A and B are shown apart, each in its own frame.
Chain A
């Protein structure tokens, strides 16, 4: 495993070279083999019960970190995801979006559930304890910070813009650097998800058939 990584990086694997391999959207990065598989244990805001990555096998999974007291960039991202789901049509049934709160102290399960339901039924609010959240963020190199209010500073939350995409087996496949854009590449991102959904370029056969 270690050897594979070093080799890939030594081979000049850059963000500009990589998308051609799979991703159709201009900004999307193919992270296949570079990022660990989907793994977590969290409280599902819908059921109140513990849920793990295994529950999402068979689905294409989008992972995004945010918080509900976020009226600007999180709604923009989730709205764009809702537009992508709309474009997917019937295929949206095979997609789940995990909205993981980085602000579990303020985000109750009830608020998390109501917040995600505003955008699309496929969006699932997840809450992890501080240690598990830190582990999840580290696993995917996602950044977040919560600074409680002080006399001179308001309550402040910082979080990564990125959205990860995992395939039906739980393998990490794509990294969308940000959907918090006024001009997101909705057709390209939708096409990327469609390809994952239908597995057309998942294997060598798919790649060959695209060339001939």
Chain B
């Protein structure tokens, strides 16, 4: 009964929006084989965001409406975190913080990079004594699904800003050795060989620097 219910809905929508192939390869399957997952992802990308969809297409299509918080002009709490020694001319780091959850779970690192220089600055990596391995990631939202992808370098345009913010770019602190309330040093490496060491404020699960009225941990 339930299956008929779903199939009836699915079929109608698939014929309208052409989602059938994407549905067939992506939905309701445990895509544990990497090959399947890859096919699914490619299809999701190709099918894109359907203009017209019903319930069966919702999960597939709607997430694209909400892009990660990378827009310029986002809340920008001034925090003089940048140590100028060795930094690329004009690059400043604002509001650096980690969201620490559990010792066994990676902590996400966030900040706003501001490049006041005349040329682009390219962030190529980061390291911290509080992290074990520290990687750069970006959450990719495609067809209503989220996943994290590794990023090798991040470009901060001249006279521009780039945000590492929840739902978008983040540092992956793989083995966090830290506690909320601490400040953990992180060294950012740039393509020109320069580096900045910044102290990241450690916040708990519900801690964010942007929401002063928000629930505190």
Contact = CB atoms under 8 A, between A and B. Distances in A.
Interface of A: 1-2, 5-6, 8-10, 13-15, 27, 29, 31, 34-36, 68-73, 75-76, 78-79, 82-83, 86, 111, 114-115, 118-119, 130-131, 133-135, 137-148, 150, 153-154, 156-162, 175, 177-178, 180-183
Interface in B153-174: 165-167, 170, 172-173
Interface stretch (B52-60, B78-86, B121-129, B183-191): B52-60
A183 B167 CA distance: 11
Nearest to B102: A114
Given A5-B12, A73-B146, A142 B107 contact: no
B9 A157 contact: no
A10 B58 CA distance: 17
Nearest to B205: A118
A180 B105 contact: no
B105 to A, nearest CB: 6
A79 B34 contact: no
B37 to A, nearest CB: 4
Contacts of A73: 139, 146, 148, 166-167
B64 to A, nearest CB: 9
A14 B52 contact: yes
Interface residues of B, number: 74
Nearest to B211: A83
B5 A36 contact: yes
A143 B167 contact: no
A148 B32 contact: yes
Contacts of A69: 105-106
Main secondary structure of the interface of B (DSSP, over half): mixed
B98 to A, nearest CB: 9
A15 B62 contact: yes
Contacts, number: 230
B53 A137 contact: no
A93 B139 CA distance: 32
B27 A147 contact: no
14 contacts: A5-B12, A71-B106, A72-B166, A79-B206, A130-B32, A133-B30, A139-B6, A145-B30, A145-B37, A146-B31, A148-B32, A158-B31, A160-B144, A178-B65
A17 B182 CA distance: 49
B18 interface: no
B130 interface: no
B30 A36 contact: no
In this complex, the member of B1, B5, B143, B217 whose beta carbon has the largest number of chain A beta carbons within 10 angstroms is B5
Given A35-B55, A79-B206, A115-B101, A145 B32 contact: yes
A78 B101 CA distance: 12
